Amino acid sequence: MLDTTTQPRSVGLPTAPRYAGWIGRAASSGLYRNTIGLLVDSRRVRLAVLAGVPLLWIAMLHIGPILQMANISLLANYPPQPDKSSEYTLANYGLFFSDRLYFVPFVRSLVFAAVVTISTLVIVYPVAYYVAKVVQPKNRMRALLLLLIPFWAGELIRTFSVIMLLANRGALNVLLREFGFIDRPIPMLYTFFSLSFGVIYLLALYMLLPLYSAIEKIPTPLIQAAADLGAGPFQRFRRVILPLSKDGIVSGCSLVYLTAVGVFAAPLLLGGPNSVIFPEVIATLFHGSNDKWPEGAAFSMIMLVVSLTTVGLFMRIVGGRSVRLM
Amino acid sequence: MQPVVHFKNVNKSYGALTAVDDLDLAIEPGQFVTLLGPSGCGKSTTLRMLGGFDSPTSGEIYLEGKPISHLPPNKRNVNIVFQDYALFPHLTVGRNIAFGLELKGMQHAAIHKRVTGLLSLVSLQDHAERMPAQLSGGQRQRVALMRALAPDPNVLLLDEPLSALDAKLRQQMQIELKSIQQKTGKTFIFVTHDQEEALTMSDVIVVMNKGRIEQMGGPDELYARPRSRFVADFIGQSNFLEGAVVSVSDGIAAVEWRGNVVHADVNGTSPVPGERATLALRPEALYCLSSKPEGRPALKGRVDQRVFKGAHTTLTVALENGSSLLVQIDPVALSHIEGDDVWVGWRDRDAVLLAN
Amino acid sequence: MRTYFNDLPKTALGASYWIFAVYLVLPLTLMTAMSFKDANFIAFPIGNWTLSWYAKVVQDKQFLEASLYSIGIALATTVSATIIGVWIALLVSAENIWGKAVIFALACLPAVVPGLINAISMRIFIRTVDIPTGTFAIILAHTVHAVPFVVIMVLTRLRSMPANLVDAARDLGADPFIAFLRVTIPYLMPALFGGMIFCVLTSIDDFVRTFFLGGYQPTLPMLIFAKVQGGMSPEINAMATIVLVVTTAIGIYAEHFTRRSRS
C-alpha cells in the first residue's frame, strides 16, 4: 500500500501545509469569526452586500448617463448659467427636423446600417454553416480560430488596414493596373464603398458567432431526415436550416445593426465628404469649436431611440425570443 | 435515552403546498434510520431542514436536546452526503475531505492524519492526490461519505446517495455503508425511495407519504405487519381484500369477502363487526394446492397466468368469487400450469388487517 | 452524377469559407507587409524592404508611453469590470431576488447601446458629476462597456454549477462568504479568465470612448489615429503590426487556455 507522502507529486516539495491553507486558517481565526463571520450570518447584511454595489453601479453608470443625456437634450442652454434658470425646451429636437444637414445623414446612417447588416448576413451565413456543419468536429475550433484571429486586432488597426487594400496606390488598384484592366486608379477610398467594406470587415464577427452557435445546435439527423424525405439542398435550407437558425440570425443582425448605426472610427478613416453619416454629425456637436451639447444630446437620443426601436421591432416581427449577446 | 434528533410538530409549506405535515419523529443515537417514500413525500425536505437548508414553517427541531431550527448549516454538527456527491471539482480527494477540518481550525499534521485514516477506512489511501474527476462512481461515493464523516458530526445525513450507481455496485455499497455505520457508531439518516435499500440497511424505517409518517419500525416489522395500505403496497407486493368484519376473537378477525369468510390478524387495529375492513396479504404467504386441503381454509380458483421470475414463480389465480390473487410458488414447481384448477389459502396470522 | 450534385453545395460552402478567410486576413497582411517598405510613404509595390521602421518605433518615446498608458488602463479596467461583473452576476443568480430579469437587462444595457451614444452619455455624465476627462474617466467608460460581457460569461458558468456545491461547503462549516471564496470563485475561474482577457483586449482596442473621454495623454489607438491624420508613413504600419501581434498572441493564448480547461 502506498503512503500518500511518497506520491510522486510531493517529491522534492517541502512538506508545506497542503492542508490548512490561508483561507481555512483565516476563516477559523477568532478575528474573522468576530468580524466578517458575524456580519455574513445575518441574512439582511448578506442581501445588502449582495445587492448594494450592483444596484448602485447599474443605477449610476448604466442608467444615469442616459437619463442625464435625456435631461440635457431638453435644456435651452447648457451649461446652465448661475443667474439664469435653465428652461426646458423641445427646440433641440426641432432643429433636427428643420435642417437637411442633420436629417439626411441620419437617414443615410439608418439605410447604411441596414445595408451593411444584410450584406454581412449574406456573406457570413455560408461561412458559419460551413464551419458548423461541414467541417469535421475535431477541426471546427481551428477553422473558427482562423477567422477569429483578425478580430483580436483592434477596431482602429483593422480600419487602417483596409486603406492598404483600397487606396489609389493600394494593393487592389496596383494589381488591376499591373494586369492592364485600368489605366488610372479607381477612387475607392473615402467613398461609401470603402466605408461599407470597412464596416463589414469590422463587424463580421458579431454575425459569425451567433450564427455559428445557432447552426451548430441544429441536429444533423434533422437535416438528414429532410434529405431522406426528398428535400433537395435548397428545400432543406429554406424549410429546415433557415427556420432553425432564426435565433442566430436575429441576434447577429441586431448586434451588427446596433454597432453599424454608431460606428465612429471607420467613417473618420474611410469615409469622405459624400458619405457623412450621423455619428460624425453628432461628434462635431460635441467636439467642434463651439460645442452644442443640448443639440448633440437630442440627436443622440433620437439615434438611440430609433435604433433600439428598429431592433426591437425586427426582433418582434422575425420572432426571435431574445437577443443573446454571446 | 435522549433522542439525538427530535422533530417536534414540524410543518413546512411552500405557499399552498404542504411538504411536511406535523412531523413528530424521535431518532435514537447510533441507529441507521431510513426515511422511505415516493418522491414528493417530504423525506428530502425533512433532511434539508435537519441539514439547515430549509427552516420549518412551524415547530422545532432538536439536535441532542438543543433547538436548531434557525441555525445556519455551518453551525450545525450534522453533515450530508449529497445525491450527486457534490465533491469540489477543483480540490484533490484529500483536500475535499480536509475541507471541514480546515474550517475547524485544525493544523496540517492533525488533518493529514485524519484524512489518511478515513481514506484507509474505504481503501482509498493512495488516492488522496487524485482529482474527483479521475475517480469511478463508487470511489466518489466513498470520498463523499468520508468528507461528511471527517468533521465528526453527531448525525450523518445521506440523500439518496446510491441512486447514481448501477445495480451491482449499489448492492455492494449498501453492505459497505452499513458496516461503516456500525464501525463508527454514528447515527445515519438515510433518504431513499428504494424499498430494497431501506430493508437491507436500516435499523428503523420511517415510511413517509404526503408529508406525514405512515409507519415507523424495524424492516421485518414493516414488511410483516404493515399498518396501512400505502405501506403494504410500497414495501413489497400485497394482495388487498376489501370486505366487512363479521367477528373478532383472540386477535383474529373474521371478514366477509365476496361471499367467503376469511381470517386475518387484527394487527393492532380494533375492528368493529359490521364495519368495512381491508386485508393485506403477501403473495409468498399464500399456499396453492391442487386439491381442496383438509382442515385448512382455501378458496377455489384457476391459474390465469404463470410468470417465471428466477428465484420464484408468480401465479395470477382467478378465484370463483370473481376476484384474483397473486400467489408466489416454488420456481421449479411442475404443477399449477395455466388453466389448472387450484385451491388457495393462508394461515390466519399471515394476513393483516389494515387501519382504515 | 449523384455524388457530383451532392458535393456541389459542399464545395461552394468550402470556397465561401476560404474566400472569407482571405478577405479577413488580406488587409492585415498587406498592412504588415507595408511596414517593411523602405520609403516614407505608403504605396504599392513595396520595392525595397527594411526593418528601420521597427527600429524607429521601438525607440519612439511617444509609442512606448502610449503603450504603457494603454496597458495600465486595460489592467485597471479588467480588475474593476471583473469585480463589478461578478458581483452583478451573483445578484442576478441569487434566489429570492425580486426583478432579476430587469436587473439583468439593465446590466446588459451598455452592450446594446451604440458605442458612440455610450461614449457621449458618459462624457455628459462625468461633466455632471465633475470628473475631469482623462485616465479615470477612460477607465470608468471602459469598465461600463466591459461589465455586461463579464456578467454574461460569469452567469453562463454559474448556471452550469451544480447547486449543491455551495450547499456542501456550507454543510462542512463554511459561512456564505467562505463558501464563495473557496468554492464559487474556483469554479468560476475559466469564465473569469475569459472575461479578463476580453476586458484587456476591448480596453486596449477601444477608440470611440477614449476619443470622447481622453485627456492630453494618448492611448495606443489615439496615437495611431493622430499619426494617420498627420500623414501616413510605414511607421504607422510598424506600430499597428506590433500591436496586432501582441493582441493576437494574447487572444490565441486565451482560446488555447479556455479550450484546455474545458476538456
Q: Which of B55, B74, B108 is most worth mutating to test chain A (most A CB atoms within 10 A of its CB)?
A: B108
How far apart (Å, rounded) are the C-alpha atoms in residues A19 and C131? Answer: 48
Do B207 and B329 lie in a common domain? Answer: no
- Using the predicted structure, report yes or no on whether residue C95 has a pLDDT greater than 80: no
Q: CB distance from A169 to chain C under 8 Å?
A: yes
- Provide, as residue numbers in chain A, all residues whose Cβ is less than 8 Å from the Cβ of C176: 40, 46
Cβ neighbors of A8 (< 8 A, separation 6 or more) are none
Supply φ then ψ for residue B292, to 5 degrees.
-65, 125
Do B208 and B176 lie in a common domain? Answer: yes
Task: Name the CA radius of gyration of chain B, rounded.
Answer: 25
Do B348 and B200 lie in a common domain? Answer: no
C165, C170, C189 ranked by CB distance to B73: nearest = C170
In the DSSP assignment, the letter for residue A319 is T
Do B149 and B95 lie in a common domain? Answer: yes
Q: What pLDDT is recorded for position A39?
A: 76
Coil, helix or strand at residue B319: strand
A264/C208 CB distance under 8 A: yes
A4, A20, A41 ranked by CB distance to B108: nearest = A20
Domains of chain C (ranges, CATH numbers): 60-262 (1.10.3720.10)
C162, C175, C186 ranked by CB distance to B84: nearest = C162
- Using the predicted structure, report yes or no on whether residue B310 has a pLDDT greater than 90: no
Q: What pLDDT is recorded for position A150?
A: 81
CB of C208 closer than 8 Å to CB of A154: no
Q: What pLDDT is recorded for position A85?
A: 64
Cα distance from C227 to chain B (closest Cα, Å)? Answer: 49
Mean pLDDT of chain B: 88
Q: What pLDDT is recorded for position B248?
A: 87
Cα distance from C44 to chain A (closest Cα, Å)? Answer: 6
CATH code at B133? Answer: 3.40.50.300
Indicate left, alpha or beta for C168 from its phi (over 0: left) and psi (-120 to 50: alpha).
alpha
Q: Which of A9, A10, A19 is most worth mutating to test chain B (most B CB atoms within 10 A of its CB)?
A: A19
Number of domains observed in the structure of chain B: 2
Structural fold of domain A92-318: MetI-like fold (1.10.3720)
Q: CB distance from A20 to chain B under 8 Å?
A: yes
A18/B108 CB distance under 8 A: yes
C116/A262 CB distance under 8 A: yes
- Provide, as residue numbers in chain A, all residues whose Cβ is less than 8 Å from the Cβ of C140: 61
B128/A29 CB distance under 8 A: no
Q: What pLDDT is recorded for position A243?
A: 84
Average pLDDT rounded to a whole number, residues B27-43? 89
pLDDT in tens, C195-248: 898 899 889 988 989 998 988 889 999 998 888 888 778 888 888 999 999 988
Laid out side by side, the sheet with B58-63 consists of B17-27, B5-14, B58-63, B66-67
Cα distance from A47 to chain B (closest Cα, Å)? Answer: 15
Do B154 and B24 lie in a common domain? Answer: yes
Q: CB distance from B52 to chain C under 8 Å?
A: yes
Cα distance from A68 to chain C (closest Cα, Å)? Answer: 7
- Provide, as residue numbers in chain A, all residues whose Cβ is less than 8 Å from the Cβ of C34: 164
Comma-separated ranges of CATH 1.10.3720.10 domains in chain A: 92-318
Average pLDDT rounded to a whole number, residues B112-134? 87
Query: Which of B232, B248, B268 finishes a domain?
Result: B232
Q: What pLDDT is recorded for position B275?
A: 87
For C:103-122, CB contacts with A below 8 A are 103, 106-122
Do B261 and B193 lie in a common domain? Answer: no
Q: What pLDDT is recorded for position C74?
A: 95
Residue B270's CB: how many other CB atoms inside 10 A? 9
Do B171 and B65 lie in a common domain? Answer: yes
pLDDT in tens, C32-86: 888 888 877 777 777 778 888 888 888 888 899 999 999 999 999 999 999 999 9
How far apart (Å, rounded) are the C-alpha atoms in residues C90 and C84? Answer: 10
Q: Any idea what the Cα angle at residue B116 is, between residues B113 and B117, rounded to 5°?
A: 85
Q: CB distance from A76 to chain C under 8 Å?
A: no
Range of the domain at B316: 237-354
For C:36-55, CB contacts with A below 8 A are 42-45
pLDDT in tens, B268-289: 888 888 888 898 999 988 888 8
> What's the N-to-C CA distance of chain A in angstroms?
50
pLDDT in tens, B137-183: 889 988 998 999 888 888 999 998 888 888 888 888 888 889 889 98
Query: Which of B170, B204, B232 finishes a domain?
Result: B232
pLDDT in tens, C135-159: 999 999 999 999 999 999 999 899 8
CB of B254 closer than 8 Å to CB of B263: yes
Do B155 and B196 lie in a common domain? Answer: yes
Q: What pLDDT is recorded for position A9?
A: 45
- ipTM computed for the complex: 0.87
Q: CB distance from A268 to chain C under 8 Å?
A: yes
Grid cell, residue B30, equals 447510533
Average pLDDT rounded to a whole number, residues C114-119? 90
Do B285 and B168 lie in a common domain? Answer: no
List residues in chain C touching B: CB distance below 8 A: 162, 164-165, 167-175, 178, 182-183, 186-187, 189
Q: CB distance from C27 to chain A under 8 Å?
A: yes
Do B172 and B200 lie in a common domain? Answer: yes
CATH code at B347? Answer: 2.40.50.140
Closest listed residue to residue B99, CA positions, set B134, B135, B140, B151:
B151
Q: CB distance from A42 to chain B under 8 Å?
A: no
Q: How many helices (H) and strands (E) does chain C have?
A: 12, 0
Supply φ then ψ for residue B3, to 5 degrees.
-65, 145
Do B150 and B58 lie in a common domain? Answer: yes
As beta bridge partners, residue B328 has B314
Average pLDDT rounded to a whole number, residues B186-202? 90
Cα distance from B76 to chain C (closest Cα, Å)? Answer: 8
Query: Which of B232, B253, B278 finishes a domain?
Result: B232
Cα distance from B350 to chain C (closest Cα, Å)? Answer: 45
Q: CB distance from B94 to chain A under 8 Å?
A: yes
Residues in chain A predicted with pLDDT less than 50, given as ranges, are: 1-17, 323-326
How far apart (Å, rounded) are the C-alpha atoms in residues B290 and B300? Answer: 10
As beta bridge partners, residue B209 has B212
Do B174 and B313 lie in a common domain? Answer: no
Q: CB distance from C246 to chain A under 8 Å?
A: no
